[in-house]
A and B are shown apart, each in its own frame.
Chain A
Amino acid sequence: MTIDLGRGLVLRNPVMTASGTFGYGEEYTDFVDLAQLGGIIVKGTTLHPREGNPYPRMAETASGMLNCVGLQNKGVQYFIDAIYPRIKDFDTNVLLNLSGSSLEDYVKGAEMVDALEKIPAIELNVSCPNVKQGGMAFGVTTTGISQVVSEVRKVYHKHLMVKLSPNVTNIAEIAMAAEAAGADSVSLINTLMGMAIDAEKRKPKLSVITGGLSGACVKPVALRMVWQVAKAVKIPVVGLGGISNATDAVEFMLAGASAIEIGTANFIDPTVSAKVAWGINEYCERHGFQKVTELIGALEC
């Protein structure tokens, strides 16, 4: 079941949990043996603490949800001092999702995380739709992504995964720009920009009006984008977006993903990540695949 994503990031199996949906792993240890996962990607962290957006931050949609949390976190230094010591010895890969509102913040944050022995990779978040400055601003143009990835690459020596926004015209171009700038892998998709309205009150349901859509409803869009990106780049692609069971995960791998992340589905079934890991294995046995890597891009069309 092992997946080697390059530059030292080796997963026990293709299943990771998506940033912002699994806390710091601790929230789920009553439900999941973390040793059954390929990795966990902890909550989006920025150089400086952020209070995030006001409540309400969530609106349920048909087969999904919108959120506008806005990267609430206590900053990289707090992560290093208070959280890292508690989670560094988890028996799985612990990746940090790093976000920023300026180039300098990304670089400084990456430098600090580079020194953390037990964090084998950063997932660079250039695609959060819920913060005004930065975040997604870097991720929606080829020049923006080239700039941030190449600057972070200079100071970060471990595996650099870049999380892509689906809120673009041509995601393959963005992925290629990330690859050319030195990304070791790309993960996609982050949430799709959306909004929800309370008709009775004639008001938006979210405090900042728009938010990011996730959950089962985004899966076809995510699958299409993973397929397009996997054809366009040589670096590994990590697929996410609405994966709720092992069959969904297999579909992403067939479309070209080397690994997958489970996000919103963790809210509906806190045990789902381990179930998916088991289910991928079962699929491989049932179809006579010797290695899980044989699934990657095995779509016949």
Chain B
Amino acid sequence: MTKQIADFKLVQKQDFGRSVLLKLRAEQALPEIAPGQFVQVRVDGSPNTYLRRPISIHDVDFQHNEITLLVQQVGEGTRHLAMAEMGNVINMVMPLGNGFSLPEKGEIVLLVGGGIGIAPLFYFAKVLVENDIRPMLLLGGKTESDLLRLADYQQLGETFVTTEDGSLGEKGFVTMHSVWQNQDFDKIYVCGPKPMMKAVAKMAAEKDVWCEVSLENLMACGLGACLCCVEDTVDGHVCVCKEGPVFNTRRLKW
């Protein structure tokens, strides 16, 4: 899969409070992009943001050369990114890393997202639907407003929701949802905060269910050159940017 560095223009912006949706259009055709891959975004005009910001790919429209990012403002870099205005040029290196493994037809698939970790699951669910696999989704947040674009997710598969404050769906963490009691899964895919991913991975292991997680370790290069973003695996320290960000949990020393 060829990587590119390219300028994109911001063509649509939707504000979700702490998060923002940025639809970015390139002039040239996009390369092949797998769900679960990410981009490295250059943040201009932010003196303390030296490195690019790795952001998961939320959606892709190959017909219009568009990549959509769902960005949560967690620090100065993402805050500046969220300030981008329509027509602004944003430079990205993409697509990076390896995506989720596609399940077989007929397998029962659960996508579990926590907080902004729901972002890459949208494109993944879309690709699954295109491949005649209708996933189930389990999305969790602290509160109702964390469940961004919920109606759009619901279009792609049966969707279950938890919130820590009980403002929407079942109260508690994703691991506490009743769906776990009522349904068996062949494959589970998870993206969210590390403690949440570890908890789901543990449940999956107890049920002996295949499970992939998407990690977001701090990165510099995004290309497997600097060896900063390593995760401890059965094969030693490996770069999340190059060998991940998606890992089968059996490979991780969790």
**A→B interface (CB under 8 Å):** 20-23, 27-28, 30-31, 43, 51-52, 54-65, 67, 69, 72, 215-216, 264, 266-271
Contact = CB atoms under 8 A, between A and B. Distances in A.
Contact of A23 (B47, B223, B229): B223
Contacts of B3: 30-31
A279 B217 CA distance: 35
Nearest to B3: A30
B180 interface: no
B236 interface: yes
B230 A72 contact: yes
Contacts of B236: 51
A224 B248 CA distance: 49
A200 to B, nearest CB: 12
Contacts of B102: none
Contacts of B231: 55
Contacts of A58: 218-220, 226, 228-229
Contacts of B221: 21, 27, 266-267, 270
Contacts of A30: 2-4
DSSP class of A's interface residues: helix, strand, loop or mixed? loop
13 contacts: A23-B223, A27-B242, A28-B223, A43-B225, A43-B227, A54-B232, A58-B218, A61-B50, A69-B227, A72-B227, A72-B230, A267-B220, A268-B51
Contacts of B42: 268-269
Contacts of A216: 50
A133 B137 CA distance: 50
A270 B93 contact: yes
Contacts of B219: 58
B3 to A, nearest CB: 4
Interface string B92-110: 0100000000000000000
Interface size class of B (residues with CB under 8 A): 20 to 34
B101 to A, nearest CB: 23
Nearest to A68: B228
A267 B2 CA distance: 17
Contact of B227 (A28, A52, A54, A269): A52
B169 interface: no
Interface of B: 2-5, 42, 47-52, 93, 217-232, 236-237, 242
A181 B78 CA distance: 50
B225 A28 contact: yes
B5 A267 contact: no
A43 B222 CA distance: 16
Contacts of A51: 236-237
B243 to A, nearest CB: 12
B199 to A, nearest CB: 20
Given A21-B221, A23-B223, A55-B217, A268 B228 contact: no
B242 to A, nearest CB: 8
Contacts of A56: 217-218, 228
Contacts of A69: 226-228
Nearest to A69: B227
Given A30-B4, A55-B217, A65-B220, A268 B226 contact: no
A21 B48 CA distance: 21
A82 to B, nearest CB: 14
Nearest to B240: A55
Contact of A22 (B2, B47, B52, B225): B225
A27 B213 CA distance: 24
A55 B223 contact: no
Contacts of B93: 270
B6 to A, nearest CB: 11
A216 B225 CA distance: 19
B48 A62 contact: yes
Given A31-B3, A270-B5, A21 B226 contact: yes
Nearest to B4: A30
A135 to B, nearest CB: 16
A72 B237 contact: yes
A61 B217 CA distance: 17
Nearest to B221: A267
A67 B220 contact: yes
A20 B232 CA distance: 20
B228 A67 contact: yes
B47 A57 contact: no
Contact of A267 (B4, B52, B218): B52
